[in-house]
Structure 1
Amino acid sequence: MRADGMPRLLAALVAGLVALVTSGCSTIGYYSQAIDGQAEILRKARPISVVMADDRVPARVKRKLAVVEDARHFAGTRLELPANHQYTRYTDLGRRYVSWVLFAAPEFSVEGKTWWYPFVGRLEYRGYFSEKDARGEVKRLKAQGLEVYAGGVEAYSTLGVFHDPVLNTFFQRTDAELAEVIFHELTHVKLFLPGDSDFNEAFATANAEMAVRRWLTAKGDRAELARYETSLTNDREVVALLLATREKLRGLYARQDLSPAQMRERKAALLAELHTGYLGIRSQHPGFSLYDRAFTKPWNNARLNTVSTYYDLVPGFERLMAREHGNLHAFYADVEKMRYLSKKERRARLMR
């Protein structure tokens, strides 16, 4: 970034904040922390070429940055993704997560709470650069009677508003998973529809998985490709179980003949059934032990929504890609046309 980049960034962010002054103190506080967090990321960013030449930087970091560079080049030259100005710098935040994101939903509904944001519309999640701030919001939402799930986030995109740097938080992944992050976030830069989280995340997920397959194939890394495919297969089996549970809960909540106590009891039974179902899958596939941590924490409506947001519409995008016989230009054109449909129409088209 040029020397005048930071003042321009802060001016843009402050202008957005000023526009929200009439929304109330809590809103002002939220965007203030967002300004501070984004400013830190950009202020600490260094060109990757400088980082690679720095003898103080650990070899592991340099190796991961080389993977990013390779994936970014592939994205721009082979995947028609806007990679020219993205991920050319590196920021070490000195922490495990870049931000903390929370989801919320009523006790008897799988329809999540949404928040409105400038430029991107309503989204089903709320992000904080401070874990303390996130936990404070969790307490406030729970006090309103909502179910809440909060978790750390390793990567995110400003959708091309800024030239996003690579973050140290990306590096807790395998090389294939790291490349997937880059492809996922660049897909958001290519197309992001305001107010439709399910569409945006599923498109990025499906496109990134396809991209990793092509990247590993081009590298001739059959062993890593096989491991990646196994990982995706395992993911899909667990995701299918979680989405099926969410649909069962949706059906339960639609019933009019149950008292709150009865509904609560049946809900608990379905969530217990979810855990039993996972143990059944795990007993057949020892490799599934890596999901154990996810099942040590309780599942609720809000947490199930984190899964549906990213995966519910993925099969629809995969079918669309298959219909275009892997032609990326045609696939992207088909997806682009959906911006002119309503959210309901987009979902219907992808679900059929």
Structure 2
Amino acid sequence: MRACGLVLCVLLLGGCSTTTDPSYYWQSVSGHLRMVGAARPVDDWVADGRTSEALRAKLRQAQQLRRFAVTELGLPDNNSYTRYADLQRRAAVWNVVAAPDDELKLKQWCFLALGCVGYRGYFDEAQARAFAEQVRHAEPDVEVGVYPVPAYSTLGWTNWMGGDPLLNTFLGYPEGELARLLFHELAHQVVYVRDDTVFNESFATAVERLGGARWQATASEAARAEYARFDERRQQFRALARATRERLQTAYALATRAERLAAKQRAMADFRQRYDALKAQWNGFPGYDPWASQANNALFAAQAAYDELVPGFEALFEREGRDFTRFYDAVRALARLPKDERRAALGSR
């Protein structure tokens, strides 16, 4: 599962969290600035004799995909993804998410300029896990998850600093997966709505899927075959996660807490059994193991943000004649509506 986070540097936001922990502001500021400082123009990397041929090829491929995003999908043409940084770590940030142990509802953390979001991001994994432990200790009836995020978007607000860079945390992805990630992150620069993580992430996921489908028409046969293998596993895992969420939602509608937790235990046991069966079908492919091993309400609720409104956005794309410019205009119009009206227009409760 790709989970593409939206973690903005507090300094650049000019805002503040509802919490008053200065260390969180500092790690946000310093972490983002270190990443920006490590980035160099792609052309410099390509021309550098110390750059490996493998990295040089991936950088060129990323530039081709970026041009495709601009010319074929109407995504922003700015400084984003024209620079590259090797962070010497496996993730750009680590997100902490939390939810009640008998409800699929993410705890919210709020920022002045960004609004409220269902996660809190850290540039250092140890800090993320330490904060997760604080949440567990303070709220025993809350489940917490920590997961790595390969990329995040600054919504185009940092183009004056060079924009969002390509990173070692995702540049090595297969071509189709890299395309989807770039399309997703650039989509966040098209539309962003305060206090509505589900709308924002579902829109970006819809763009990555629609853009990915269009990309396939131009990709090589080998790239399409590789993408098909990845996508089949992704769709199977997402189907299992959706089915489990639906079962958990039914469980959490029961009258008593004891009934809810007992039904939850059965749903989670079924999830683990069905995941093991999927993994055997995939000949042991372990890509979803880290997520599945800590699966809980927080992670299921976080994943739902990327899925819930996607069918509505895809239907809107069809109604707009499969034209990306018209589609983006229609999404911007939805973004101006009250939250309940946006959800109703997209066919969600």
Give the greater-gyration-radius structure (CA): 1
Task: State the identity as a percent.
Answer: 35
Q: Quick one: distance in 2 between partners of 1:276 and 1:48?
A: 45
Query: Cα gap change, 1:33/1:291 in structure 2, threshold over 3 Å: closer, same or farther?
Result: closer
Identify the residue that residue 64 of structure 1 maps to in structure 2. Answer: 58
Letter in 2 for 1:312: E
Task: After TM superposition, give the deviation of residue 268 of structure 1 in Å.
Answer: 0.9
Q: Quick one: distance in 2 between partners of 1:190 and 1:226?
A: 30
Q: 1:115-126 residue pairs with structure 2 within 5 A?
A: 115-126=109-120
Identify the residue that residue 270 of structure 1 maps to in structure 2. Answer: 267
1:351 aligns with 2:344: no
1:286 aligns with 2:282: yes
Identify the residue that residue 35 of structure 2 maps to in structure 1. Answer: 41
Q: After superposition, what is the alpha-carbon deviation per residue over 1:147-203, rounded to whole angstroms, capped at 9, x for unaligned?
A: 001011111111111111111111241111112111111100111111111111111
Task: After TM superposition, give the deviation of residue 241 of structure 1 in Å.
Answer: 1.9
Identify the residue that residue 228 of structure 1 maps to in structure 2. Answer: 227
Task: After TM superposition, give the deviation of residue 15 of structure 1 in Å.
Answer: 8.2
Identify the residue that residue 13 of structure 1 maps to in structure 2. Answer: 11
Q: Quick one: distance in 2 between partners of 1:24 and 1:179?
A: 36
Identify the residue that residue 333 of structure 2 maps to in structure 1. Answer: 337
Query: Cα gap change, 1:45/1:141 in structure 2, threshold over 3 Å: closer, same or farther?
Result: same
- The CA RMSD measured in Å over matched residues stands at 2.2
Identify the residue that residue 210 of structure 1 maps to in structure 2. Answer: 210
Q: 1:113-262 residue pairs with structure 2 within 5 A?
A: 113-143=107-137, 144-145=139-140, 146-162=142-158, 163-219=163-219, 221-256=220-255, 258=256, 260-262=257-259
Q: Quick one: distance in 2 between partners of 1:345 and 1:153?
A: 31
Q: Quick one: distance in 1 between partners of 2:180 and 2:68?
A: 12
Query: Cα gap change, 1:20/1:112 in structure 2, threshold over 3 Å: closer, same or farther?
Result: closer
1:80 aligns with 2:74: yes
Q: After superposition, what is the alpha-carbon deviation per residue over 1:19-66, rounded to whole angstroms, capped at 9, x for unaligned?
A: 649x6541x221111000111011111111111111112222111111
Q: Quick one: distance in 2 between partners of 1:214 and 1:134?
A: 37
By percentage of residues, which structure has more helix?
1
Task: After TM superposition, give the deviation of residue 248 of structure 1 in Å.
Answer: 2.0
- SS of match in other structure, 1:90: strand
- Which fold has the larger relative contact order, with Cα–Cα distance below 8 Å and residues 6 or more apart in sequence? 2
- SS of match in other structure, 2:303: helix
TM normalised by structure 2 equals: 0.88
Structure 2 gap segments, 5+ residues each? 1-8
Letter in 2 for 1:139: E
- SS of match in other structure, 1:289: coil
Letter in 2 for 1:194: R
Identify the residue that residue 3 of structure 1 maps to in structure 2. Answer: none
Q: Quick one: distance in 2 between partners of 1:192 and 1:14?
A: 16
Task: After TM superposition, give the deviation of residue 292 of structure 1 in Å.
Answer: 5.3
Asked whether the equivalents of residues 95 and 120 of structure 2 are also in contact (C-alpha less than 8 Å), the reply is yes
Asked whether the equivalents of residues 34 and 129 of structure 1 are also in contact (C-alpha less than 8 Å), the reply is yes
Asked whether the equivalents of residues 141 and 148 of structure 1 are also in contact (C-alpha less than 8 Å), the reply is yes
Asked whether the equivalents of residues 213 and 225 of structure 1 are also in contact (C-alpha less than 8 Å), the reply is no
Q: Quick one: distance in 1 between partners of 2:79 and 2:314?
A: 28
Q: Quick one: distance in 2 between partners of 1:296 and 1:314?
A: 22
- SS of match in other structure, 1:218: coil
Name which of structure 1's ranges 273-282 and 324-333 shifts more when overlaid on structure 2.
273-282
- SS of match in other structure, 2:103: coil
TM normalised by structure 1 equals: 0.88
Q: After superposition, what is the alpha-carbon deviation per residue over 1:291-346, rounded to whole angstroms, capped at 9, x for unaligned?
A: 55246513210011121011122122122222233211221122111112222222
Letter in 1 for 2:262: E
Q: After superposition, what is the alpha-carbon deviation per residue over 1:95-114, rounded to whole angstroms, capped at 9, x for unaligned?
A: 11111001100111111101
Q: Quick one: distance in 2 between partners of 1:157 and 1:349?
A: 26
Q: Quick one: distance in 2 between partners of 1:262 and 1:83?
A: 53
Letter in 2 for 1:247: E
Identify the residue that residue 323 of structure 1 maps to in structure 2. Answer: 319
Task: After TM superposition, give the deviation of residue 280 of structure 1 in Å.
Answer: 4.2
Q: Quick one: distance in 2 between partners of 1:300 and 1:103?
A: 10
What is the number of equivalent residue pairs in this alignment?
334
1:298 aligns with 2:294: yes
1:32 aligns with 2:26: yes
Letter in 1 for 2:249: R
